[in-house]
Amino acid sequence: MDATDRKILDILQADASIPVATIAERVGMSTAPCWRRIRKLEEDGVITRRVALLSRRKANVPMTVFVAVKAPRHAVEWLQAFRKLIADIPEIVEAWRLTGEADYQLRIVVPDIETYDVVYQRMISRLEFSDISSAIAMEEMKYTTAIPTNYIATK
């Protein structure tokens, strides 16, 4: 991994549909070597996949709800059931296991509060929780899928 690889990653994180020739030009190399670098980054697992990011508003899921979950017990069976639950609910777009007060943090996207309540009801009907606390996002102040590349070790 070198500075050129990091530049390629920054470009792809901004727009993965940019043609390889354009990326090559931006990083100061010819197309074939640039393409080989991108393939190597994929093979090495640095680039895990390329996706299309949708507008939540146009997809009619403008509301974001952050949900803090406390497990009733810390047992493998409960964790497996929780993993299945979050995998089965498409409105849950992120799930994190945490330290601190809450055990898990979910990010849920829905059209409105009524739909969130349906998701909530599905969750509590399938699994026991000690506590579920919801916070509705009022303003998206920053959102990015790009991660900083300046921490990637160089050769």
The closest of 142, 140, 143, 149 to 12, measured between CA atoms, is 149
pLDDT tens digits, residue range 118-131?
Answer: 999 999 999 999 99
Enumerate long-range contacts of 84-89, CB under 8 Å, 24 or more apart. Answer: 85/123, 85/126, 85/127, 89/119, 89/122, 89/123
Average pLDDT, the chain: 96
In the chain, % of residues over pLDDT 70: 99
- Return the amino acid letter for 88: D
| Residue 107 lies in domain | 63-136
In a domain, 82, yes or no: yes
Residues 32 and 94 in one domain: no
Distance CA 107, CA 105 (A): 7
Distance CA 119, CA 111 (A): 11
CATH of the domain at 86: 3.30.70.920
Distance CA 123, CA 127 (A): 6
Residues 85 and 126 in one domain: yes
Number of folded domains in the chain?
A: 2
pLDDT tens digits, residue range 103-153?
Answer: 999 999 999 999 999 999 999 999 999 999 999 999 999 999 999 999 998
In a domain, 83, yes or no: yes
Please list, residue by residue across 65-77, b when 16 or more beta carbons sit within 10 angstroms of its beta carbon and e when fewer do: bebbbebeeeeee
In a domain, 93, yes or no: yes
Residues 86 and 128 in one domain: yes
In a domain, 149, yes or no: no
In a domain, 39, yes or no: yes
The bridge status of strand 63-70 relative to strand 131-136 is: antiparallel
What pLDDT, on a 0 to 100 scale, did the predictor assign at position 155? 65
pLDDT tens digits, residue range 31-87?
Answer: 999 999 999 999 999 999 999 999 999 999 999 999 999 999 999 999 999 999 999
In a domain, 50, yes or no: no
